[in-house]
Structure 1
């Protein structure tokens, strides 16, 4: 049983000034795995005060100072990789191998990539003969991070914020807070100065709202649902602070005529089912030529049989989804898909056979889906795939772009050049060509209601700096 009821403010663990105890449920067992305290706005005030004091000195540190600090964090992170993975299995229900290699692995990549970016990041450039442009830290960053990739989403904000000289007040998800507490311990042991990083547990309406509206917070970096992102933006607008967001997605995967359909469908299914479908840019809409729909259904039905679901401590592809609330919502949307006329190729309502406890969802594939159906438009955030047909490339692009979101997209073709022609027409921040994997140096973010700004790699650093022009007089 984990006891994380203290918050981390000004370099030490302390009791919150009020709040209430909150149980963290293991989604595989439905039992209590630990406790945190849902803190209050007064705790946010205290954390912001500490961050503002720390900013006066930390913002003046050199590139070399920050490189040394980030290398110490990297060493500490590496030493505690297994601790982080074990916590993920408990709080998220992530399969053990996936937790260690993918969830923890992405955090390690963000640290290593950030260190390389910092070595050559241009904090100052000569714009003209009279003007120098400087990139300076913004100030106090409010970080609000989600439950689905809790290490990834902390590190892809924390690393560029630290590297560019900012200080932070962080609210992790109250659903998966264990890993954030371990990261705070890593930062403390690495020698991050008091007040530079502060952790305040809490819910969105209390701690999240306090961070978003706080006059002492200069920027909010938020990852979560589009609905919550809109609320953060509204609260932040009152103080005209910068709002940096990575929100929802409903990513299309267009399989072009001539592509290897067996490979494309198989890759799509495993990419979606990874993390139990709880990934914002997962390929949830599979578009195939109408003439090959029957073939695609048959392939999908066969492939999904190989997706194993069960105890995350075992050798499985999928554990449970994160919570009862999430499980119930996914069940409702599966039911809605059937009611609206989509055909079940695999899965459906209820738990997988043999699993009577835990928030397990059956890997589900719908065919005969049209883009006006609820399951094709809403972000289900579970292991549910919609297969849609199209007549020609123009219709495929139109269907792909017919969504409020624009985070990710995928294109499968006989060769990369054919895929790139279609990729250029898609309204998405990231387009993956022929099964391409993630690139930690590539900008991560979306179009439309999928957010504002970018994370990952060099472009993330630009999000965490202010730009100042130093303009000299004309020469006499």
Structure 2
């Protein structure tokens, strides 16, 4: 049993202001795996004050200092890697192999990317006699989900630290164990007091207190579009910056000249990965109508080989994260049946032999039409909708015919055509022919999939304000100042600072 009953505030583990706790349920067994304390607005006030007090010093530290801290975090994270993977598997049900191979690894990739970007990032730019300066925005409230917990924490915390911001993190109360370990990693790495703070709790209480707090300068939220709208409403009276990474209903266009066996198999497996709980999962497969029979056969064969079960064993798919999630997915699968979609594989109910746990049968629907609920709503489970198109133009129309725009996928042999189709899709990231992830590529959505971008150098912009200093100096002098990275005042080191500085 893991106990997460204190909050990390101002460099210390403190008791909450209140006494409420929540059982964290292991979704594979439906039994308690631990407890988490539920914070209050008073806890948020304490954390925000600690972050505000720390901002003056942290925002003026050198690039070398911030790189040093990020590198120490990397070292400490690797020490806790197996524990992190175990916690993720326990709290949200990811198969242990997936937790080790991807879930836990992603935070490392974002930390490495931040180090790489920070080493050459231009925080100032001379334009004639004007100096354009990019400065840390201030105290950042980070609200993260349960589906890829370390990916979302890593891709927000790393650029926030790198740009000189201070942080108040609220992870999901459904999956708090991994964030607790992350806070322990931060402490072991020597993060200065108040630079990173952790308050657990639910969205309506702690999330709302963070997004509406007058001393929080920016809030970055990942979750459902519905919740993102509430975060934006809460933030509006204080006119703070709001960054949102929200839902998706991503199209996967398989063009006529694609290798259908490979493309369909990869598309099905991508939806089943992480039990379908990925905002960018390719949940709408668009195929030529004449190839529907072949696609159905390949999709059915792929699902039949997919093993669902105990995430502590060698399986492909574990449970979904919660009872509420399981119930929602079941209702949408039943809706697909009622609306007349063809069940290729799966269907309502639990997989055979799994009477306990929030397991969902990997489900594929074919002959799905655009007006069906399963073609429009984000199901967030291992459910794929296959839709037919008549022409490439029709495929593009179907792909863009959604309120979302987070990701899109295209398969085809003619790269000229593939790129032409990509140029017409309204999505923040388009993946061609199963290309692997690029941690330097911007990630974020069009339309109701959010605003702003994460990952790589584009993430830095979300945490920076822009200042124009007019009449700063001659162009040559200004360029020299930028090259020396010396525009912002740098405080002198004291003996107490040495543990937080890079030793060269």
TM-score class normalised by the smaller sequence: over 0.9
CA distance in 1, matches of 2:426, 2:370: 16
For residue 244 of structure 1, report the CA deviation from its aligned partner: 0.4
Is 1:148 the counterpart of 2:147 in the alignment?
yes
Larger relative contact order, structure 1 or 2 (CA cutoff 8 Å, min sep 6): 2
Kindly tell me: are residues 330 and 119 of structure 1, through their superposed partners in 2, closer, same or farther at Cα, counting changes over 3 Å? same
1:181-260 to 2 correspondences below 5 Å? 181-260=180-259
CA distance in 2, matches of 1:129, 1:399: 48
Aligned residue in 2 for 1:54: 54
CA distance in 2, matches of 1:297, 1:365: 9
Is 1:380 the counterpart of 2:379 in the alignment?
yes
Asked whether the equivalents of residues 416 and 434 of structure 1 are also in contact (C-alpha less than 8 Å), the reply is no
For residue 474 of structure 1, report the CA deviation from its aligned partner: 9.2
CA distance in 2, matches of 1:3, 1:259: 50
Asked whether the equivalents of residues 19 and 40 of structure 1 are also in contact (C-alpha less than 8 Å), the reply is no
Aligned residue in 2 for 1:398: 397
For residue 379 of structure 1, report the CA deviation from its aligned partner: 0.2
Asked whether the equivalents of residues 130 and 472 of structure 2 are also in contact (C-alpha less than 8 Å), the reply is no
Asked whether the equivalents of residues 144 and 171 of structure 1 are also in contact (C-alpha less than 8 Å), the reply is yes
For residue 19 of structure 1, report the CA deviation from its aligned partner: 4.2
Question: Secondary structure at the residue paired with 1:238?
Answer: helix
Q: Deviations over 1:163-210 (max 9, x none)?
A: 000001111000000000000000000000111111000101100000
Asked whether the equivalents of residues 44 and 206 of structure 2 are also in contact (C-alpha less than 8 Å), the reply is yes
CA distance in 2, matches of 1:135, 1:23: 43
Aligned residue in 2 for 1:133: 132
Aligned residue in 1 for 2:317: 318
Question: Secondary structure at the residue paired with 1:405?
Answer: coil
Question: Secondary structure at the residue paired with 2:283?
Answer: strand
Question: Secondary structure at the residue paired with 2:119?
Answer: helix
CA distance in 2, matches of 1:416, 1:147: 36
For residue 235 of structure 1, report the CA deviation from its aligned partner: 1.0
For residue 129 of structure 1, report the CA deviation from its aligned partner: 1.7
For this pair of structures, how many residues does the alignment match? Answer: 474
CA distance in 1, matches of 2:233, 2:142: 16
TM-score (norm: length of structure 1): 0.99
For residue 415 of structure 1, report the CA deviation from its aligned partner: 3.2
Asked whether the equivalents of residues 131 and 472 of structure 2 are also in contact (C-alpha less than 8 Å), the reply is no
Q: Deviations over 1:46-86 (max 9, x none)?
A: 10000000001111100010011110001011111101000
CA distance in 2, matches of 1:473, 1:60: 19
CA distance in 1, matches of 2:66, 2:47: 22
For residue 125 of structure 1, report the CA deviation from its aligned partner: 1.1
CA distance in 2, matches of 1:351, 1:474: 69
Question: Secondary structure at the residue paired with 2:427?
Answer: coil
For residue 368 of structure 1, report the CA deviation from its aligned partner: 1.0
For residue 417 of structure 1, report the CA deviation from its aligned partner: 2.4
Question: Secondary structure at the residue paired with 2:125?
Answer: strand
1:66-145 to 2 correspondences below 5 Å? 66-126=66-126, 128-145=127-144
Aligned residue in 1 for 2:162: 163
Aligned residue in 2 for 1:424: 423
Aligned residue in 2 for 1:33: 33
Question: Secondary structure at the residue paired with 1:25?
Answer: strand
CA distance in 1, matches of 2:157, 2:316: 29
Kindly tell me: are residues 8 and 474 of structure 1, through their superposed partners in 2, closer, same or farther at Cα, counting changes over 3 Å? closer
Question: Secondary structure at the residue paired with 2:21?
Answer: strand
CA distance in 1, matches of 2:456, 2:74: 16
Question: Secondary structure at the residue paired with 1:99?
Answer: helix
| RMSD between superposed Cα atoms in Å | 0.9
1:264-283 to 2 correspondences below 5 Å? 264-283=263-282
Question: Secondary structure at the residue paired with 1:185?
Answer: helix
CA distance in 1, matches of 2:359, 2:376: 23
Question: Secondary structure at the residue paired with 2:72?
Answer: helix
Aligned residue in 1 for 2:16: 16
For residue 462 of structure 1, report the CA deviation from its aligned partner: 1.0
CA distance in 2, matches of 1:379, 1:290: 24
1:353-368 to 2 correspondences below 5 Å? 353-368=352-367
Asked whether the equivalents of residues 333 and 347 of structure 2 are also in contact (C-alpha less than 8 Å), the reply is yes
For residue 420 of structure 1, report the CA deviation from its aligned partner: 0.7
CA distance in 2, matches of 1:175, 1:21: 12
CA distance in 1, matches of 2:49, 2:360: 44
Asked whether the equivalents of residues 332 and 374 of structure 2 are also in contact (C-alpha less than 8 Å), the reply is yes
Asked whether the equivalents of residues 405 and 449 of structure 1 are also in contact (C-alpha less than 8 Å), the reply is yes
Asked whether the equivalents of residues 76 and 186 of structure 1 are also in contact (C-alpha less than 8 Å), the reply is yes
Q: Which segments of 5 or more consecutive residues in structure 2 lack a partner in the other structure?
A: 475-504
Question: Secondary structure at the residue paired with 2:183?
Answer: helix
Question: Secondary structure at the residue paired with 1:181?
Answer: helix
CA distance in 2, matches of 1:294, 1:123: 55
Aligned residue in 1 for 2:478: none
* Larger mean Cα displacement after TM superposition, 13-22 or 320-329: 13-22
Asked whether the equivalents of residues 143 and 220 of structure 1 are also in contact (C-alpha less than 8 Å), the reply is yes
Aligned residue in 2 for 1:412: 411
For residue 473 of structure 1, report the CA deviation from its aligned partner: 7.3
Question: Secondary structure at the residue paired with 2:193?
Answer: coil
